[in-house]
A and B are shown apart, each in its own frame.
Chain A
Amino acid sequence: MSFKDFITGLWEQNPIFRIILGMCPTLAVTNMAINGLFMGTAVIFVLISSCIIVSLIRNLVPSKIRIPVYVIIIATVTTIADYILAAYYPSIHKVLGIYLPLVIVNCIILGRIEAFAKTHSVGRSFLDAFGIGLGFTWGLILLGSIRELIGFGTIFGLTVLGSWYPQVLIMKLPTGAFITLGLLIASLNLIKKRKLPTE
């Protein structure tokens, strides 16, 4: 177990900005910061549970059929989470409702299982999943905040720019997500490039 497994997902291997995985939810749900937070939470939960289960059974699954087995696990975990939320936390379920089923097809989860959990211990898989999940979440929230600020003049629903602010429709639509994401990745690459020589 090492702390590095956790840190790497936050920055070095950030799914949104560095490995560019899970683009469909990234582009679809980030028109408001709160949506990013909800989507991120759902992904963190499913990612951690699936990675722990896969890591536990990693020596039992023949490699030829590992993908169907992983998909069964992911779908089961997601559905169970859906039922439990609906039964015990109906108000949260109402908000997360649309995002939870989307998590099943999120390639970050299958990606982390393939790249990490299937060959590493439970503890390290947990740290990796948690780090990647948090990395995904902060990326979504950053994107969502920028788009919400320009699109609606608010952040997390709080008015930042007053009623004088002309809302920019394009930032509410998927087009705005592509533009913002492109500019963000470009500027993060620029920061990384500047850092390199001193390292």
Chain B
Amino acid sequence: MNETLHMLLVLFVASVLSAAALTIVYEKTQPLIEKNNGNSLDLELHEVLPNAEQFEEISFNVSGTNIVQTYKGLSNNRIVGYVFLSRTPGFSDYIKILIGTNKQQITDVKIIENAETPGLGSRITEDSFLSQFRNKDINTHEFDAIAGATISSSAVINAITETESFINKLHEQGKLQ
């Protein structure tokens, strides 16, 4: 019995110490981590829609699509374009893709999160693949996949064509300013 109590005590103390250490570090680092994430998202929004000076979240009815977040890009209080964040299933996990558009064209595309196979699927982040989307009319639906990374690159292409038709739908409904 004594031995059991001793073991319980040691395990308890170890868990409490671990939880305490994690709590302290979490409290200290969380604000910084959130700031870093916010900063990098802001930078990435600027990258895919360079004309805009600032971005604001905007809500569209995105049900039934992989789009999870939409932003409008403003310059001199005029809307110069929109950015769509698509969360689409890839080969091993969801791929998060930022798609910038000025209503007529895709301005740029950026992969902000992926867990695809390094060296194969991860090539979707390379410019040689992403440059084909840049400044394309939003009615362009033919894009090249990557040999050896068909699933990952098709996922990105599908996310983009889906966003394109979503933009067209918003156009028809007159919801884009």
Contacts and interface: CB of A to CB of B under 8 A. Distances in A.
B58 interface: no
B32 A72 contact: no
A76 B118 contact: no
A83 B26 contact: yes
B36 A29 contact: no
A31 B11 contact: no
19 contacts: A29-B118, A32-B119, A35-B119, A60-B10, A62-B6, A64-B7, A65-B10, A65-B11, A68-B14, A76-B18, A80-B21, A83-B29, A86-B32, A87-B28, A87-B29, A87-B32, A98-B118, A151-B119, A152-B119
A76 B7 CA distance: 20
B118 A31 contact: yes
A164 interface: no
A148 B6 CA distance: 52
Interface of A: 29, 31-32, 35, 60-62, 64-65, 68-69, 72-73, 75-76, 79-80, 83-84, 86-88, 90, 98, 148, 151-152, 169, 172-173
A32 B30 CA distance: 32
Interface string B1-35: 00100110011001100100110011011101100
A54 B31 CA distance: 31
Q: Specify the main secondary structure of chain B where it touches its partner.
A: helix
B119 A69 contact: no
B115 interface: yes
B21 A61 contact: no
**In this complex, which of A76, A152, A169 has the most chain B Cβ atoms within 10 angstroms of its Cβ?**
A76
B33 A80 contact: no
A90 B36 contact: yes
B153 to A, nearest CB: 15
Given A29-B118, A79-B22, A169 B148 contact: yes
Interface of B: 3, 6-7, 10-11, 14-15, 18, 21-22, 25-26, 28-30, 32-33, 36, 40, 115, 118-120, 148
Contacts of B148: 169, 172
A170 to B, nearest CB: 11
Contacts of A68: 11, 14
Nearest to B92: A98
Given A31-B119, A32-B119, A83 B10 contact: no
Contacts of A88: 29, 32
A69 B14 contact: yes
B31 to A, nearest CB: 8
Given A29-B118, A83-B26, A98-B115, A76 B21 contact: yes
Contacts of B115: 98
A87 B14 contact: no
Contact of B22 (A32, A76, A98): A76
A29 to B, nearest CB: 7
Contacts of A29: 118
Contact of B33 (A64, A86, A151, A172): A86
A81 B22 CA distance: 10
Given A65-B10, A87-B36, A72 B18 contact: yes
A173 B119 CA distance: 9
Nearest to A171: B119
A32 B33 CA distance: 29
Which 9 A-B pairs rank lowest in CB-CB distance, beginning with the nearest?
A87-B29, A87-B32, A76-B18, A90-B36, A31-B119, A83-B29, A86-B33, A65-B7, A69-B14
A150 B51 CA distance: 43
